[in-house]
Amino acid sequence: MDKLKHNYKYNIVGGLLGAFVASSAGFLVTYLKEVGGNDMHFALLNALPSMIAVFVLIPGAIIIDNTKNKLKTTLIICFLSRAFFLLYAFVPFLPKALQPITLVALMGLRNAPEAVWGIGYQSLVADVFPMNKLNAIIGDRNKFNSVLTIGATFIVGIFLSLNEKYPIDILFLYEVLFVFTFLIGTYEVLQYKKFVFDAKAPQKSDNISKKLFHIIKTLPEHPKYIKYCITVIIFYLGWQMSWPLYNLYQLDVLHANAAWVGYFNITSTIVQFLTIGLWIKLTDKLGNITVLGICMSLMALSPFAYAISDTLPMLLAMQLVVGSGMSGATTLLFNELIYVSPEKDRTLYISLFTCFTQITSSFMPFIGTFVKGALSIHAALYISGIIRVIGAVIFLWAFRKERQS
């Protein structure tokens, strides 16, 4: 019990520090704007990390499972991810023409250790904590993280807006933020280093590789899994298309500053925190598929909400409603993925689906900015919303006869 409490404590503290890192990373969008980012840079900002994730997810899982010291290897990877914040701080020292593309490249490259760190953390906590307590422990961690994310985002947004009241270079404020984030991230790594547990023997890489090729070869034997992948990816196409459009609409059309970007992030976190319990309870009454339909429909309305909003307060109010579907959709879609994935080698099936979505997210942001340039940002948002609606309808039709709980 003492060991459990010890690990619980450092898991919570590490999670809080990681939540600050994630909050800081949320302002890289405005940082890119400050260093001269254009539409193409914002498309790359969303697409490049996904391109890189495609190549590291499966190899990363194999590395984590085969290392002799999972804790040490995982934390080294985490530290590499946090070290990129130091590199972000040095971007303004480069020639002006190179600053935006360098920042985008660094953000894309950072996703290699960040993606593997995500896999490593999940594998690590499965070794550190008893499986029958893992859901509650991770749930507590996420609750604490949500509270800190709200506070950190608010404070950082105010900090990055100091140049509006005082004669301070805005880029200097970002440099201070990112150096501080690196220090916080380093301290985060030291917290996880304090985990005490009995390490499990590593797996053999050839077995994992053979399993992956076997899974791909035998996909036709699992029609529910294939049906899920096809229908959900259609919805993802509309979702991913709008990623750069949201940033561009906030910054270029509504002229949001760092503080307003923080307000949007805070609102999203609060709404998801307050509604996730409601969606889970509704699944007990209405069934998983029905509630998924409601959540996906709300997410489909989000691009339309952006397109008709002509002020920042109006958009913020809209997001309180349509943004509520995201927490339910992401949670229930993942639960459904677990259900349709074959029990044997389920982790690899989930990783394979993740790779599919990373592939689509490597080009859909470009399509979004292309449509924006060819037509308008409003037209691009409407098209994104229509694709989401089509994806949601196809998903509900395909699974209409499946389980409802």
Query: 10-residue block means of pLDDT along the chain (405 residues)?
Result: 83 92 90 88 83 81 78 92 96 94 94 86 79 69 81 88 88 96 96 81 60 76 88 93 90 86 83 80 82 89 92 88 80 78 72 83 89 94 95 86 53
Last residue of a domain, one of 162, 194, 226: 194
61 in a domain, yes or no? yes
The reported pTM is 0.75
Rounded to whole angstroms, the Cα distance separating 39 from 60 reads 31
Q: How many structural domains is the chain composed of?
A: 2
Rounded to whole angstroms, the Cα distance separating 27 from 149 reads 13
The long-range contacts involving 253-257, CB below 8 angstroms and separated by at least 24 positions, are 253/377, 254/309, 254/310, 254/311, 254/312, 254/315, 256/312, 257/30, 257/160, 257/161, 257/164
CA-based Rg of the chain, rounded to a whole angstrom? 21
Neighbours of 206 (CB within 10 A): 10
Rounded to whole angstroms, the Cα distance separating 324 from 338 reads 23
Last residue of a domain, one of 170, 194, 218: 194
State how far Cα 246 lies from the chain centre.
15
40 in a domain, yes or no? yes
73 in a domain, yes or no? yes
Last residue of a domain, one of 160, 194, 228: 194
> Does 162 share its domain with 208?
no
DSSP label at residue 204: P
DSSP states along 30-98? HHHHHTT--HHHHHHHHHHHHHHHHHHHHHHHHHHHH-S-HHHHHHHHHHHHHHHHHHHHTGGGS-GGG
> Does 190 share its domain with 211?
no
> Does 85 share its domain with 216?
no
CB 333 within 8 A of CB 395: no
403 in a domain, yes or no? yes
How much is the pLDDT for 149? 84
> Does 165 share its domain with 216?
no
Neighbours of 167 (CB within 10 A): 6
> Does 142 share its domain with 171?
yes
How much is the pLDDT for 347? 63
> Does 223 share its domain with 166?
no
Neighbours of 139 (CB within 10 A): 10
> Does 232 share its domain with 378?
yes
How much is the pLDDT for 404? 47
336 in a domain, yes or no? yes
| Residues written for the chain | 405
> Does 166 share its domain with 304?
no
How much is the pLDDT for 180? 97
How much is the pLDDT for 70? 83
Q: Give the tokens for residue 108.
A: 């894309």
62 in a domain, yes or no? yes
DSSP states along 286-337? H-HHHHHHHHHHHHHHHHHHHHH--SHHHHHHHHHHHTTHHHHHHHHHHHHH
State how far Cα 258 lies from the chain centre.
20
| 197 backbone φψ class: left, alpha, beta (φ>0; ψ -120 to 50) | beta
> Does 242 share its domain with 183?
no
- State the residue range of the domain holding 287: 204-405
Locate tokens 């992956």: which residue? 212
Q: Report the CATH number at residue 336.
A: 1.20.1250.20
CB 368 within 8 A of CB 237: no
199 in a domain, yes or no? no
> Does 244 share its domain with 363?
yes
- Residue type for 137, please? I
392 in a domain, yes or no? yes
Q: Residue 136 class from Cβ within 10 Å (0-12 exposed, 13-18 middle, 19+ buried)?
A: exposed
Q: Give the tokens for residue 84.
A: 């990129």
> Does 230 share its domain with 176?
no
- Residue type for 318, please? M
According to DSSP H, which parts of 160-220 are helical? 170-192, 205-217
How much is the pLDDT for 221? 81
How much is the pLDDT for 219? 79
> Does 41 share its domain with 122?
yes
